């Protein structure tokens, strides 16, 4: 909503609700696409990546007009600065064209309606949706020199049917953030803080179709919080409706959330690293908690569109993104993690290392943390429908 | 228009009914806006309807006529409840706005005399600041550490930290900010109808022994009713579908129907359901407009 020029990261996860404004544009582009585009999809999946690479002309014969569908704040030169990690690519191949997405759902909708960039930066839990839509192809890891340095857990998370459809880039936790001077968790740190009647009107859940159900799932120990049965979802829905009076609001823009935390309107919230650093900067005594049910985690990265003319350019771009310089930059500037594991953490603020366990890959693994998992659009719809009901109730 | 018609009519062959053929200039002037409306309003409305019965989609997929989404919605459930809640909130907002704007319009039209246009401009000055900023300002005023709550702490009316929390992120906050925003808009049509009031009627009323209150009740108010009703519609209709204000200051309890629609098209990617909600809102608003328009015309006839 508002853009803080000094912290472009705040734009990154901007509310999914801003979609309405874009809706008109999307409808228009969809209309054009319906008239103009035909065919496309269907080709994803299967095939050996090396053989696939062989089908593409060498990099010299590509047009080189790489188009990246990105989060604001992740474009050159905002990301890394003019002489940062992306400079080598820009020097060699020129600056890519950037278009901006405001949420995974919006990005998916825009591509569904006919938009065709070369590569997109969604989060890993949406990889399945991209593959399902038939608009992406697997990467060829052998073309990415930094691939070997990427966290194997995250790399594995980006595979579908053994194919690397998603190259992990940035990651972070999602956890309850609370004001240590106002809030006393009753029985250790837990996600149940979100349902604590003592803090009525001081809580803010994230406005998202999936996560509130997933949290309920972990709290209640269901088999698979990312793929709950309809019965479980209905139970979760009823529970969330019964607890939503505790929430002051459901936040959708991190900037708004940070302002509410700073203004004392919110004491407990679902938060990313950025909100922790923002609250600290505002001089608040906050804790980024380690719930006993485990933190949630998110991981975003890149998918490769299957009708790209810039197959090799896209790989080169991702190679630059995957570099250790890129990793160092994002940790220091946005306090998010990076898939590249070879960062020298002595150059990173100690508090960040401690709070976000940057030095301990185990902290990012089950059962310590639960990373977002691919969810089919049919399953996502089952969650989304109920979340809409929670909100409307 | 009527005069022109009179002038043209004798030239037409006797006995041939119908209106005069519009000239080239008229066609040229009317065509672009009509085309604009057709392409950018009517076509999308039709598409939304087709979407809502699942016979059309921008996305590849199975299309088959179904009324399921309509049935689910009309059967009642959270979305229907939300719709009624929005109607209720819109009613409160429009009544409050009209009641509060009337004295302003009255003052401007009948009391302020020469300075009234300057004052009118003053009333409109808030529009120089973006709505978004003004909403942020309300957040500062209404928040737990905001102007009002700080005042309560300072006076000891509330213990420090024990904030009146329903001020922000509540239905109250939505209604308050909307009333605030609408008042200048609402004052305008009322002002116009009061301004065009024939003062001699008021003189006549007082000559005939009416008190000021009687004159207001029997003369001024009825004559300004078209303006009042226009003002009411002006507020009521857009407020039913309000989206932005509840998004910013509504919190969990202040959510309105417009927010649900936005979610359906946005994060839920459920355009089928979203189309049902949108089209329903469109129909309701259309019906209300037709109703009001009729009422207004009758009123105009009665008073004019």
**pLDDT classification of B16: cutoffs 50, 70, 90:** low
Residues 6 or more apart in contact with residue A299 via CB below 8 angstroms: A123, A124, A154, A157, A168, A170, A171, A339, A371, A372
On whether residue A321 sits in a domain, the answer given is: yes
Residue to substitute from B45, B51, B57, B58, interface A, most A β-carbons within 10 A: B58
**Residue A250: half-sphere exposure toward Cβ, Cα within 13 Å:** 27
Asked, for residue A3, whether it belongs to a domain, the answer is no
- A306 and A166 housed in the same domain: yes
Whether A2 is in a domain gets the answer no
Query: Does A39 fall in a domain?
Result: yes
If asked whether residues A313 and A290 sit together in one domain, one would say no
Say if residue A258 is in the same domain as residue A351. no
Residue B148 forms contact with A (CB below 8 Å): no
Q: Which residues of A are less than 8 Å from B146 in CB distance?
A: 263
| Two structure tokens written together for A163 | 């194919």
Q: At what angle do helices B171-195 and B78-106 cross, to 10 degrees?
A: 40
Give B-chain residues touching A16 at CB under 8 angstroms. 266-267
Asked if residue A25 belongs to a domain, the reply is: yes
Three-class SS of residue B103?
Answer: helix
C-beta atoms of B44 and A392 within 8 A: no
Nearest to A30 among B58, B77, B139 (CB): B58
Q: Is B76 within 8 Å of chain A by CB?
A: no
Whether residue A359 sits in one domain with residue A327: yes
Is residue A256 one of the residues assigned to a domain? yes
Residue A373 gets the label, from left (phi > 0), alpha (psi -120 to 50) or beta, of: beta
The count of structural domains within chain A is: 2
Q: Kindly report the nearest CA distance between residue A366 and chain B, in angstroms.
A: 28
Contact B264 A264 (CB under 8 A): no
For residue A157, what pLDDT is reported? Answer: 86
- What is the maximal distance between C-alpha atoms in chain B? 86
Q: How far is CA B200 from the centre of its chain?
A: 33
Residue B197: CA count within 13 A, CB half-sphere:
29
3-state secondary structure of B54: coil
- State mean pLDDT over B243-248: 93
Which residues of chain A are within 8 Å of residue B44 when distances are taken between CB atoms?
A: 27
Q: Strand pairing of A67-71 and A97-101?
A: parallel
Q: What is the pTM of this model?
A: 0.79
Neighbours of A278 (CB within 10 A): 26
Residues near A304 by Cβ (< 8 Å), separated by ≥ 6? A118, A119, A136, A137, A138, A139, A165, A311, A314
Low-confidence ranges of chain A (pLDDT < 50): 1-46
Are B219 and B138 in contact, with CB atoms under 8 Å apart?
no
With contacts defined as CB-CB under 8 Å, which chain B residues touch A209? 267-268
A27 and A150 fall within a common domain: yes
Q: Cα separations (Å) of B21 from A94, A317, B94, B104?
A: 61, 64, 42, 46
Report the C-alpha gap between A193 and A186 in whole angstroms.
Answer: 8
- pLDDT value at B12 more than 80: no
Say if residue A134 is in the same domain as residue A176: no
The residue whose two tokens read 């992406």 is A136
Q: Residue A349, Cα to own-chain centre: how many angstroms? A: 23
Judging contacts by C-beta atoms under 8 Å, the chain B residues touching residue A384 are 267-270
Output the six-digit token pair for A319: 């190679």
Yes or no, beta carbons of A113 and B145 under 8 Å apart: no
Task: For residue range B165-224, list pLDDT tens digits in order.
Answer: 899 999 999 999 999 999 998 998 899 899 888 889 988 998 998 888 999 999 999 989
Cβ–Cβ contact B158 with A under 8 A: no
Give the pLDDT score at A30.
38
Residues A242 and A219 in one domain: yes
Q: What's the pLDDT band for B303 if we cut at 50, 70, 90? A: low
**Is residue A48 domain-shared with residue A176, that is, in the same domain?**
no
Q: How many CA atoms lie within 13 A of A145 on its CB side?
A: 5
What is the torsional sign of CA B276, B281, B284, B290? negative
Q: Is there a domain that residue A118 lies in? A: yes
pLDDT tens readout for residues A144-187:
999 999 999 889 989 999 999 999 999 999 999 999 999 999 87
- The answer to whether the CB of A173 falls within 8 A of the CB of A296 is yes
Q: How far is B284 from chain A (nearest CA, A)?
A: 19
Query: 3-state DSSP call for residue B271?
Result: helix
Asked whether residue A30 is assigned to any structural domain, the reply reads yes
The confidence band for B17, taking pLDDT boundaries of 50, 70 and 90, is low
Residue B304: strand pairing partners = none
| Residue A237 and residue A333 in one domain | no
The answer to whether residue B152 neighbours chain A at the CB level (below 8 Å) is: no
Q: Are A224 and A194 contained in the same domain?
A: yes
Hey, are the CB atoms on A265 and B144 less than 8 Å from each other?
yes
Q: Using a CB–CB cutoff of 8 Å, tell me whether B145 touches chain A.
A: yes
> Could you tell me how many residues make up chain B?
304
Q: Are B168 and A209 an interchain contact pair (Cβ–Cβ within 8 Å)?
A: no
CATH number at residue A232: 3.40.190.10
Residue contact B58–A385, C-beta within 8 A: no
pLDDT level of residue B300 (50, 70, 90 thresholds): low
Contacts by residues B290-293 (CB-CB < 8 Å, ≥ 24 positions apart):
B292/B229, B292/B233
Q: Do A290 and A307 fall into the same domain?
A: no
Domain span holding position A258: 172-297+376-392
- Spell out the alpha helix ranges (H) of chain A: 9-12, 19-36, 49-55, 87-93, 104-112, 127-133, 152-157, 211-219, 230-243, 254-262, 273-281, 311-321, 324-334, 350-355, 377-392
Question: What is the maximum alpha-carbon separation in chain A?
Answer: 65
A250 and B252 within 8 Å at the Cβ level: the answer is: yes
Distance from CA of A60 to the nearest CA of B (A): 35
ipTM field: 0.82
Whether A335 and A243 share a structural domain: no
Mutate which of B269, B271, B272, B275 to disrupt the A interface (most A C-beta within 10 Å)?
A: B269
Question: What is residue B59's predicted lDDT score, i.e. its pLDDT?
Answer: 67
């Amino acid at each position: 909503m508002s853009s803080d020029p000094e912290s472009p990261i705040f734009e990154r996860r901007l509310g999914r609700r801003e979609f309405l404004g874009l809706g008109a544009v999307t409808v228009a582009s969809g209309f054009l696409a319906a008239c103009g585009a035909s065919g496309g999809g269907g080709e994803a999946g299967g095939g050996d990546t090396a053989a696939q690479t062989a089908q593409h002309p060498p990099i010299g014969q590509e047009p080189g007009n790489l188009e990246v569908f990105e989060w604001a704040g992740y474009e050159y030169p905002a990301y890394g600065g003019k002489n940062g990690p992306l400079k080598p690519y820009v020097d060699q191949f020129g600056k890519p064209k950037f278009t901006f997405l405001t949420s995974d759902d919006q990005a998916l909708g825009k591509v569904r309606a006919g938009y065709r960039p070369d590569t997109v930066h969604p989060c890993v839990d949406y990889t399945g949706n991209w593959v399902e839509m038939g608009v992406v192809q697997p990467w060829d890891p052998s073309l990415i020199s930094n691939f070997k340095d990427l966290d194997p857990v995250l790399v594995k998370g980006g595979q579908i049917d053994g194919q690397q459809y998603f190259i992990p880039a940035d990651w972070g936790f999602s956890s309850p953030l609370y004001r240590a001077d106002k809030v006393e968790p009753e029985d250790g740190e837990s996600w149940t803080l979100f349902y604590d009647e003592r803090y009525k009107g001081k809580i803010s859940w994230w406005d998202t179709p999936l996560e509130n159900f997933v949290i309920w799932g972990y709290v209640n120990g269901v088999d698979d919080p990312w793929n709950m049965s309809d019965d479980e979802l209905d139970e979760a829905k009823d529970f969330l409706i019964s607890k939503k009076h505790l929430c002051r609001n459901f936040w959708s823009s991190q900037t708004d959330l940070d302002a509410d935390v700073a203004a004392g309107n919110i004491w407990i919230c679902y938060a990313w690293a950025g909100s922790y650093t923002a609250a600290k900067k505002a001089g608040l005594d906050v804790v980024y908690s380690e719930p006993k049910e485990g933190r949630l985690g998110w991981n975003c990265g890149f998918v490769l569109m299957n009708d790209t003319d810039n197959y090799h350019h896209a790989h080169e771009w991702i190679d630059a993104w995957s570099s250790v310089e890129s990793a160092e930059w994002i940790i220091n500037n946005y306090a998010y993690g990076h898939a590249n594991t070879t960062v020298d953490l002595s150059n990173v603020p100690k508090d960040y290392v401690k709070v976000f366990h940057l030095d301990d890959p185990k902290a990012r693994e089950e059962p310590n943390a639960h990373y977002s998992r691919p969810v089919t659009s049919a399953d996502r719809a089952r969650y989304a429908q109920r979340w809409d009901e929670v909100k409307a109730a | 228009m009527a005069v022109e018609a009179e002038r043209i009519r004798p030239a037409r062959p006797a006995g041939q009914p119908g209106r005069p053929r519009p000239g080239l200039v008229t066609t040229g002037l009317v065509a672009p806006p009509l085309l604009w409306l057709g392409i950018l309003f009517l076509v999308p409305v039709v598409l939304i309807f087709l979407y809502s019965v699942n016979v059309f989609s921008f996305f590849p997929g199975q299309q088959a006529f179904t009324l399921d989404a309509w049935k689910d919605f009309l059967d009642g459930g959270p979305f229907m409840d939300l719709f009624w809640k929005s109607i209720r909130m819109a009613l409160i907002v429009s009544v409050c706005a009209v009641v509060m704007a009337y004295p302003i319009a009255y003052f401007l039209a009948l009391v302020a005399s020469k300075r009234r246009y300057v004052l009118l401009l003053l009333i409109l000055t808030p529009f120089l600041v973006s709505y978004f900023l003004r909403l942020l300002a309300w957040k500062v005023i209404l928040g737990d550490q905001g102007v009002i709550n700080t005042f309560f702490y300072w006076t000891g009316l509330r213990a420090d930290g024990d904030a009146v929390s329903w001020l922000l992120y509540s239905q109250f906050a939505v209604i308050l900010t909307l009333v605030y925003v609408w008042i200048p808009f609402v004052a305008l049509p009322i002002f116009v109808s009061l301004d065009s009031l024939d003062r001699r009627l008021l003189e006549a009323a007082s000559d005939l022994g009416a008190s000021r209150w009687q004159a207001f009740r029997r003369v001024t108010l009825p004559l300004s009713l078209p303006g009042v009703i226009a003002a009411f519609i002006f507020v009521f209709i857009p407020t039913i579908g309000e989206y932005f204000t509840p998004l910013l200051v509504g919190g969990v309890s202040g959510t309105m129907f417009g927010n649900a629609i936005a979610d359906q098209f946005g994060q839920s990617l459920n355009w089928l359901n979203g189309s049902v909600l949108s089209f329903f809102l469109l129909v309701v608003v259309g019906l209300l407009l037709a109703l009001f328009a009729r009422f207004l015309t009758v009123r105009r006839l009665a008073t004019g």
